[in-house]
Amino acid sequence: MQKVGSGGKILHIMREVYQGGSEDQGVGEGVGRSEVEGRVIAVRKHKRTMFCDVYNGLTQTQIVFENLDNNSPFDIKTGDFVRCVGNLGATNSGQTSLFVEGFHLFSRPESYEGEDLSLKELLVSRARAKEIIRSSLLQYGLTEVDSRIMSPYSGTANIVPFSTHSAKGEDFYLRFTMELELKKYLCRTQLPVFEIGKLFRNLGVSSRRETEFTAVEAYIPYMNLGEGLDLLSDILQKIGQQFFVDFSSIQGEKFWNYWVLEQLKKLVF
């Protein structure tokens, strides 16, 4: 049985969408028994036939229910999560559709809200930006590490950290920087290291920060200021080329760094 817009095909579609390609329509070639899973985003009825658009977040497929009993309307509504089994074919208008023979309702939310396209774009953009930063630092030979988020150190007097307690009554504090732990790794191993992770600062919310935010910190032994700026410029240029501007049309020094940084602020919740 072929799974329309799911199964093994879903991984290929996800890669295409994430990399900026067009979204597949989720209907395989030819005619055969297939399966569709997703959320009903539209319902249209015509006499004893009902047409529904099912969307799984990546692909959209039209499904068709035929020969319905008008005295007992089929129980399907916009917002339902469903699985449908049937045969692929074409409607009178020529649109490839799944003609349903078997139907299962996964769940029905109390209320239905349409897809938040702006949030979807933001999440994908943030993921791509993080991927560029991570891959760039790895290409420079840095090692990605994970340091502890809860620290026994309260930090400096200028920052009031968020605190918590263990079952034994020990005090711990949510980290507000990765600096201390990463410098420990650096001094004990001489490895160039970096981390992308969450920081927490109990300073309120402003246009410059949230109480919880994602940051990247890198520590590289024996690198001077000029080399560090070159590395940062390279990463910013890669991000800018991915999202914002064609740098081939820009003349002069690397003033675009400041512009890209301003654009990156838009990727912050």
Q: What is the pLDDT of residues 170-218, one digit of tens each?
A: 889 888 889 989 999 999 999 999 999 998 888 777 777 778 888 999 9
The whole-angstrom separation of Cα 195 and Cα 180 is 12
Q: What is the pLDDT of residue 257?
A: 55
Task: For residues 143 and 72, state if they share a domain.
Answer: no
DSSP 4-51: ET-THHHHHHHHHHHTT-PPP-S--SS--EEEEEEEEEEEEEETTEEE
Residue 234 CB neighbour total at 10 angstroms: 13
Q: Structural domain tally of the chain?
A: 2
Q: What is the pLDDT of residue 33?
A: 75
Q: What is the pLDDT of residue 140?
A: 92
Residue 175 CB neighbour total at 10 angstroms: 23
Q: What is the pLDDT of residue 70?
A: 61
Instruction: Name, in order, each residue with C-beta under 8 angstroms of 207's C-beta and a sequence gap of 6 or more.
Output: none
The position carrying tokens 């890209």 is: 260
Task: For residues 149 and 173, state if they share a domain.
Answer: yes
Task: For residues 96 and 161, state if they share a domain.
Answer: no
Looking at this protein, which amino acid is placed at residue 37? E
pTM of the shown model:
0.65
Task: For residues 135 and 209, state if they share a domain.
Answer: yes
Q: What is the pLDDT of residue 142?
A: 94
| Residue 127's CATH number | 3.30.930.10
Q: What is the pLDDT of residue 144?
A: 95
Report, as ranges of residue numbers, the positions in the chain whose pLDDT lies below 50.
1-2, 5-8, 13, 22-30, 252-253, 269
Tell me which residue of 36, 13, 21 sits closest to 88, measured CA to CA: 36
